[in-house]
Structure formats: structure tokens, C-alpha cells
Amino acid sequence: MTIIASELNENNFLPFVKSGTVLVDFWAAWCVPCQKMTPILLACEQALPQLSVGRLNVDDYPQLTKKLQVQGLPTLLLFQNGEPVARVSGFQPKDRLLGYLQHRLGREQHA
């Protein structure tokens, strides 16, 4: 079964980030590194069952993007119960991102 990241908008963004441990991908259709991140994010979501991944198109929701101070693409924000707890900017190879998320999620569980 393929898990597909949730497409986020101004209406479902807050409920999504308050739903637990989530990773939000801020992306744009014209951003080549963003396109290359998509299969990596899906692989991370499959490897980490406690993590949900959502995607927000920055061109469609510039106010939300500005509010969260997203400046470069792609930007990934990790949320715990509605609060941003980590930020990663730029293209991330799968092994690096997966290791980083495993470390962050492991630390959160033991805190």
C-alpha cells in the first residue's frame, strides 16, 4: 500500500499539525529539489509509522508560509502537538533525513 502525504491548505493545516507528530513539507511545483524530496518523504512516512507527512504549496498559501518564516525551498518543519520543534531546509538525501527523523522521534519518546 502506498501512503500519500496529505495535501494541506489553510483549512486543514492547524488540525493536521495538532494531530500528533507530523512533518510538513513546504514546496512549490517549480522547485526541482522539492520534486526530488517527494519520494524521500513518502519513504520516511512508511518507515516511521508514528510520523504523518503533509505538503503545503507555498505559492497557494503565501500567508501561512510567511507566518512560519519559510524562506527557502524545500523546507521541512517537524511539529509535535501543534508546535514546530525542528526545521530542515534544502534537499536532504533519504538516509540523512531518515536518520535525523529517527533521532528526533526517539528523543521525543524518551523525554
Q: Would you say 101 and 48 are in contact if contact means Cβ atoms under 8 Å apart?
A: yes
109 Cβ neighbours under 8 A, 6+ residues apart: none
Identify the active-site residue in 31, 37, 56, 101: 31
Question: At how many degrees (to 10) do helices 32-47 and 94-110 cross?
Answer: 50
Decide if 44 is catalytic: no
Identify the active-site residue in 8, 34, 37, 97: 34
Q: Would you say 52 and 21 are in contact if contact means Cβ atoms under 8 Å apart?
A: yes
Angle among Cα 8, 29, 47 to the nearest 5 degrees reads 55
- Cα atoms found within 13 Å of the Cα of residue 104, Cβ hemisphere only: 22
The residues carrying an active-site annotation are 31, 34
